[in-house]
Amino acid sequence: QVQLVESGGGLVQPGGSLRLSCAASGFTLDYNAIGWFRQAPGKEREGVSCISRSDGRTYYTESVKGRFTISRDNAKNTVYLQMNSLKPEDTAVYYCVTALSYYSGSGCADFGSWGQGTQVTVSS
């Protein structure tokens, strides 16, 4: 069974950090680009970051540049999203997704499997 499972979300104060994990089972992540999306209440789902399949190129949406870092550990079949200097506007459910394509200017495309999401809440 192909499955993506996100973890690492939680409640954090503004300025704090979280590391999200996206673990795959039933398939090998290193054959895919992997993206992170988020969706806040009442808002559309937003692409946050993407990492390419083979050479580790990365994309970030403007609002998280310099604060978030995406990485992959193919040996663990896991992709991470390190989130630093968190802001209340980062509050959302975060999802990871497999993708067939990566574009340097826009990130991931041609999506496949989605995880169930993990809640991130930034609040004092």
- Select the more confidently predicted residue: 50 or 27: 50
According to the per-residue pLDDT averaged within each range, which of 21-35, 67-81, 100-114 is highest? 67-81
Is residue 38 pLDDT above 90, yes or no? yes
Q: What is the pLDDT of residue 12?
A: 98
Kindly report the average pLDDT of the chain as a whole number. Answer: 94
Confidence of residue 33 (pLDDT cuts 50, 70, 90): very high
Confidence of residue 1 (pLDDT cuts 50, 70, 90): confident
Is residue 29 pLDDT above 90, yes or no? no
pLDDT, one tens digit per residue, over 104-118 is 888 999 999 999 999
Is residue 6 pLDDT above 90, yes or no? yes
**DSSP conformation letters of 43-107:** S--EEEEEE-SSS--EEE-GGGTTTEEEEEEGGGTEEEEEE-S--GGG-EEEEEEEEEEEETTTE
Residues 38, 91 contacting (CB under 8 angstroms): no
Alpha carbon 34 to its chain's center = 8
The sheet that has 78-83: what strands, in order across it?
3-7, 18-25, 78-83, 68-73
